[in-house]
A = this chain, B = another copy of it.
Amino acid sequence: MTYEAVVRVTLKEGVLDPEAKTIRKSLERLGFDIDDLHTADEYVVEFDAENKETAREEAEEMCEALLANPTIHDYTVEVR
């Protein structure tokens, strides 16, 4: 069966996020008053798996192998 895994990769607490800083400054320059801004990368991956549990395991393997860098990233996987 085909499953869709939504992988959300964020920077770990304390890791500098220059992209977020730049976007925040740009929004402020445009007149928006921002309290905080974070970014995340999302990957929606479709693939075949035996069941939802093996699909989750496979998506987590993809994170460990490529999508996330465990030194600086946290990730969540939602399978549907």
Contact = CB atoms under 8 A, between A and B. Distances in A.
Given A8-B42, A40-B42, A43-B39, A66 B33 contact: no
Contacts of A67: 23
- Count copies of this chain in the complex: 2
Interface string A36-54: 1111111111111000000
Q: How large is the interface on A (under 10, 10 to 19, 20 to 34, 35 or more residues)?
A: 20 to 34
Nearest to A38: B44
Contact of A44 (B40, B44, B48, B65): B40
A8 B40 CA distance: 9
Interface of A: 2, 8, 23, 26-27, 30, 32-48, 58, 61-62, 65-67
